[in-house]
Amino acid sequence: MLGATRKHVGINKVKALGGFLRAGATAQPFRLEEHYEWGTTAHALRRLRDCDVFFSCVDRLSARLPLNELAYAHLIPAMDVASWIHAVDGQVDSISTHAHVWSPGIPCAWCRQTLSSYGLMQEAQGAQVGIEHRALMDFS
Ligand SMILES: [Zn+2]
């Protein structure tokens, strides 16, 4: 059975996923290319166009956007996985994860609302998140 263990904590995502894929591979021969670079650079996006499938494990919505577009524009199945960990006073109180497949015939990240204009705006606002509501405050 495949599963994350304590030994995977702090391991590069590419390396950790590569180990899982090799352990569960049934294709003969199985060929996996590991690239340790940001997946959203122009160079990486060009390289991804030649892949049979790719994995998206990005931390930000803004990085997810070009990968979603690439998957549908070039008909490349992709698996997008993300987790959010919330802690209060140093204690984890919730973990949520999504795992989506992006592929022709399957709703994209926009249709599933993993990507949204509002979410991208909030992410871009950073520490100023919600500032649009402050403009409506009564300052009298
Ligand atoms: Zn869509």
Query: What is the distance in A from the centroid of ligand 1 to the CA of 104?
Result: 10
Distance set, CA 4 to CA 9, 14, 78, 91, 117 (Å): 8, 14, 21, 20, 33
Condensed to tens digits (0 to 9), the pLDDT of residues 30-71 reads 999 888 888 889 999 999 999 999 999 888 999 999 999 999
Query: What is the distance in A from the centroid of ligand 1 to the CA of 27?
Result: 30
Query: What is the distance in A from the centroid of ligand 1 to the CA of 61?
Result: 15
CB atoms within 5 A of ion ligand 1 belong to: 108, 110-111
Q: Check: CB of residue 97 under 8 Å from CB of residue 83.
A: yes
Query: What is the distance in A from the centroid of ligand 1 to the CA of 102?
Result: 9
Supply the pTM of this predicted model: 0.78
